[in-house]
Amino acid sequence: MEKQIIIKSEYSSLDKMLEFLKKESTFECVKQYDSWDLRTDTSGQMEKCITIKKSAMHGMKVYFSKENELMMTYIIPNKLMNAYFGKSQKRYKNILGIITGIIKNALLVGSQKKAFEEMSQVLNKIAI
């Protein structure tokens, strides 16, 4: 799940966004390197994002795709759980990966969508 919004210019940095999230939300929010997609900047360094964690299974990463354009993407914050239930292509190399993919699609999609919407509501407050 992904969602893109345009935000007010006073929140145009990750630090300002993090400050807002810590005041306005009850979720655990941290600024860290984007290890889910391994995005890099022009100098080849890993880019940072803000992760919003509702639980070990539900979270969101937030980063700027363009100036004042915020990209919100659903993630599984726990690295081990992400390996089995995330969108990693490595999980399809064995039978356990195939089974967990089926379980994810059958059981988790509804709760993931609900969690994504809850986390998105906080960021909609600063959208234009």
Number of domains in the chain: 1
| Per-residue confidence band for 91, with pLDDT thresholds at 50, 70 and 90 | very low
| Of 6-20, 44-58, 74-88, minimum mean pLDDT range | 74-88
Summarised one tens digit per residue, pLDDT across range 41-50 is: 888 889 999 9
| Per-residue confidence band for 88, with pLDDT thresholds at 50, 70 and 90 | low
Residues 6+ apart with CB under 8 A from 106: none
Look up the domain containing 90 and give its range.
2-124
Rounded to an integer, what distance in angstroms lies between the CA atom of residue 63 and that of residue 5?
Answer: 11
The pTM for the full model equals 0.78
Rounded to an integer, what distance in angstroms lies between the CA atom of residue 73 and that of residue 117?
Answer: 11
